[in-house]
């Protein structure tokens, strides 16, 4: 159930039967010339909707913004500070907790390492003072890895490439543009550099030319199944 679409009265009723809240987190970030800036939000949010069709769960209004480190200099990327991301989510979690919820899934369509670390730290911080709460925190790339292996999509394909373009072709085909090409970043190992665009100017990390709508459907449906199982597990725990 999408929280943004229900009334206050309906919300009060669903609290009696729904135990878990999913908070979708995305980013506004360059994804090459072929994918929309909100790709990370669209992919995870649409998967969450599939989950809600299979199991009783509350989908919170999504957070479009995330921490984008490597793509920050590229046109269209809007990155927020990790501290702001954490503070915002802690506030949202506190409000859901006040409303009676204790099981939380923070699911990110953006897989940046620093971004993900802040999401995990948010859960760690909240659970320190609310020990009865339960958290599942993951990004879409982590969750998809076993499915990518099944479809023979290489692990190095991780951003605006084959799997991500496939998901957008499935969910939002009207937003996919021409101009896709295969590319990979070449950041020097262990270095933090100022001119990031010098090492990754395209925003592509993989081969979107191999993307298909059919692959996107398989990825989406299998990911939804994985999440349903995880929700069932966390709700059964005492």
Taking the model in full, what pTM does it have?
A: 0.96
Calpha distance 47→29 (Å, rounded)? 19
* CB-count exposure of residue 1 (10 Å: 0-12, 13-18, 19+): middle
Report the alpha-carbon distance of residue 123 to residue 125 in Å, rounded. 5
Predicted confidence at residue 195, as pLDDT, reads: 93
224, 49 Cβ separation under 8 angstroms: no
Tens digit of pLDDT for each residue in 199-213?
A: 999 999 999 999 999
> What are the structure tokens assigned to 68, written together?
């984008």
What CA–CA distance (Å, rounded) separates 209 from 7?
Answer: 43
pLDDT for residue 198: 93
Domains of the chain are 3-236 (3.40.50.10310)
Q: Which residues of the chain have pLDDT under 70?
A: none
In this structure, how many other beta carbons lie within 10 angstroms of the beta carbon of residue 177?
11
């Amino acid at each position: 159930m999408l929280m943004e679409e229900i009334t206050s009265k309906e919300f009060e009723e669903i609290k009696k039967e729904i135990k878990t809240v999913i908070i979708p987190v995305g980013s506004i970030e360059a994804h090459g010339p072929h994918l929309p800036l909100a790709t990370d939000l669209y992919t995870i949010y649409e998967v969450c909707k599939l989950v809600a069709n299979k199991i009783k769960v509350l989908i919170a209004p999504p957070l479009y913004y995330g921490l984008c480190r490597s793509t920050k200099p590229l046109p269209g990327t809007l990155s927020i500070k990790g501290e702001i991301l954490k503070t915002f989510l802690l506030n949202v979690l506190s409000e859901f907790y006040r409303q009676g919820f204790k099981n939380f899934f923070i699911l990110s369509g953006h897989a940046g390492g620093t971004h993900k670390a802040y999401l995990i730290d948010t859960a760690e911080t909240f659970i320190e003072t609310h020990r009865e709460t339960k958290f599942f925190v993951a990004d879409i790339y982590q969750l998809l890895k076993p499915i990518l292996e099944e479809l023979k999509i290489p692990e190095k394909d991780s951003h605006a490439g084959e799997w991500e373009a496939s998901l957008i072709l499935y969910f939002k085909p009207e937003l996919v543009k021409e101009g896709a090409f295969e590319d990979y970043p070449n950041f020097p190992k262990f270095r933090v550099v100022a001119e990031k665009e010098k090492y990754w100017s395209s925003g592509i990390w993989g081969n979107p030319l191999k993307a298909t709508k059919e692959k996107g459907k398989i990825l989406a449906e299998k990911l939804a199944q994985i999440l349903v199982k995880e929700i069932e597990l966390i709700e059964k725990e005492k």
